[in-house]
């Protein structure tokens, strides 16, 4: 998805942001469907995972019959070619910013809801609703802010989005009100949601076949998804969840500051 969408829309950052809204919409729909089935039907989780797997298989078969942008067979490359490409294209700093933004996004999804449940004792329902609202806001943010982000340019759009995420995380970490913390979670989810597609657009500038660039940048970015929540978890274990959220706010601030340069 990242390669095909970036090949088609990389030169139009606003449209790429709006396309990525489909990911968030799918996350909300999948979570809602799974929640309804588990709540009102006596169905084992094994059947749910089987249904998800069969759906993914059908989707793979369908995609195999569709001509996707940059989907034709290209040159063969080794497993490290993508990383060498981002070094050759001078995209190392951008890849680090990408990983940091991914760390913030993953941390918001993982620790934001947990903070509402444990630190503020809001209960499972409020935490689940906050997550669903956060993902819905990310969908709406990508849909509505896409054109504005495109007109501002990728770098400035990333800076503003990361700054909004940092502000939301600071609000969460500094208040005792469940309502205000929920507002902070929504703001953080909305702000960080524009960073991933805009950074992809920035990285793929002047590349008609951006597979190597996209795979290199996203492979570094996924390290943020993997290690980010772990790092925040270690901070939370030793210093508390508020300290973990503050660390995410600092990371978002670094992305915002780096994007402005």
pTM of the model: 0.78
Name the token pair of 249.
């706010």
The residue extents of the domains of the chain are: 2-72+80-259
User: pLDDT (tens digit, 9 = 90+) per residue, 201-228?
Assistant: 888 776 666 777 888 888 888 888 888 7
User: pLDDT (tens digit, 9 = 90+) per residue, 48-72?
Assistant: 889 889 999 998 888 778 777 766 6
CATH class, 2-72+80-259 region: mainly alpha
DSSP symbol at 109: I
Residue 14 has pLDDT above 70, yes or no: yes
Residues 6+ apart with CB under 8 A from 101: 158, 162, 192, 195, 196, 199, 221, 224, 252, 255
Backbone dihedral angles phi then psi of residue 2, each to the nearest 5 degrees: -60, -45
How much is the pLDDT for 123?
A: 47
């Amino acid at each position: 998805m990242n390669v095909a969408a970036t090949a088609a829309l990389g030169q139009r950052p606003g449209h790429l942001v709006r396309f990525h809204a489909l990911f968030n919409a799918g996350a909300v729909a999948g979570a809602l469907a799974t929640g309804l089935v588990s709540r009102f039907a006596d169905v084992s989780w094994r059947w749910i995972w089987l249904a998800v797997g069969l759906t993914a298989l059908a989707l793979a078969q369908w995609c195999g019959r569709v001509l996707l942008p940059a989907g034709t067979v290209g040159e063969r490359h080794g497993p490290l070619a993508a990383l060498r490409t981002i070094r050759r294209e001078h995209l190392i700093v951008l890849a680090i910013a990408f990983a940091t933004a991914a760390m913030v996004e993953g941390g918001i999804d993982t620790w934001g809801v947990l903070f509402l449940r444990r630190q503020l004792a809001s209960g499972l329902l409020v935490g689940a609703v906050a997550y669903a609202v956060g993902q819905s806001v990310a969908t709406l943010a990508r849909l509505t802010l896409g054109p504005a982000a495109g007109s501002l340019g990728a770098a400035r759009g990333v800076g503003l989005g990361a700054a909004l995420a940092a502000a939301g995380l600071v609000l969460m970490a500094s208040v005792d009100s469940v309502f205000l913390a929920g507002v902070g979670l929504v703001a953080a989810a909305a702000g960080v949601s524009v960073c991933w597609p805009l950074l992809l657009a920035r990285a793929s500038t002047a590349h008609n076949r951006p597979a190597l660039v996209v795979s290199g940048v996203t492979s570094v970015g996924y390290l943020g998804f993997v290690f980010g929540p772990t790092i925040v978890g270690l901070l939370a274990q030793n210093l508390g969840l508020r300290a973990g959220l503050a660390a995410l706010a600092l990371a978002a601030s670094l992305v915002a500051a780096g994007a402005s340069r």
